[in-house]
């Protein structure tokens, strides 16, 4: 599976994650699915109600509003993203344990190095698979 996201949405996610440092940022993504390609059409920048640098919980009211908006716009839920302020862009044991949807893409933005690193994963029954992630400037 490949997930495609626009450069503009990627930059919005970086700005959101940077704004909430030292805590983790989080959000949802919606779009379309065709064959083996998920295309992100809308990113929802949501609140981490844990206000923690080590884990996140999405604000349930914001999550519900995002899902209602996805449905109203005819978009499919594609997955979520969160940041790792000081660790690599790979799922933690907690991320793996909480990954309940094998269809969802779990994107992680690491801010630990000089440049952000953004990666996408799928998790099924505790097994992590890396997804191809394309950041497109023309989307």
82-139 pLDDT, tens digit per residue, is 999 999 999 999 999 999 999 999 999 999 999 999 999 999 999 999 999 999 986 5
Question: Residue 9 belongs to a domain with what CATH number?
Answer: 3.40.140.10
Distance CA 110, CA 127 (A): 21
CB atoms < 10 A from the CB of 35, how many?
7
Strands 76-84 and 105-110, sheet pairing: parallel
> Tell me: the pLDDT tens digits for 42-52?
999 999 999 99
Query: What's the mean pLDDT in 24-38?
Result: 97
Distance CA 28, CA 5 (A): 13
Distance CA 38, CA 108 (A): 16
Residue 79: partners with Cβ closer than 8 Å, 6 or more residues away: 3, 28, 29, 38, 101, 104, 105, 106, 107, 120
The domain containing residue 106 runs over which residues?
2-136
**pLDDT band at residue 41, thresholds of 50, 70 and 90?**
very high
> Tell me: the pLDDT tens digits for 65-88?
999 999 999 999 999 999 999 999
pLDDT at residue 27 tops 80: yes
Q: How many domains is the chain partitioned into structurally?
A: 1
Q: What is the pLDDT of residue 139?
A: 52
Q: What is the pLDDT of residue 120?
A: 97
Report yes or no: 55 and 85 within 8 Å, Cβ to Cβ: no
């Amino acid at each position: 599976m490949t997930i495609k996201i626009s450069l503009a949405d990627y930059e919005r996610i970086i700005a959101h994650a940077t704004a909430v440092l030292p805590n983790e940022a989080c959000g949802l993504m919606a779009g379309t699915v065709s064959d083996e390609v998920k295309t992100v059409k809308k990113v929802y920048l949501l609140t981490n109600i844990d206000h923690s640098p080590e884990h996140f919980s999405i604000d349930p009211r914001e999550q519900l509003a995002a899902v209602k908006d996805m449905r109203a716009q005819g978009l499919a839920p594609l997955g979520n993203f969160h940041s790792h302020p000081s660790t690599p862009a790979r799922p933690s044991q907690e991320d793996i344990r909480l990954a309940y949807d094998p269809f969802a893409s779990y994107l992680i933005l690491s801010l630990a190095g000089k440049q952000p690193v953004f990666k996408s994963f799928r998790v099924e029954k505790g097994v992590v698979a890396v997804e191809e992630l394309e950041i497109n400037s023309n989307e």
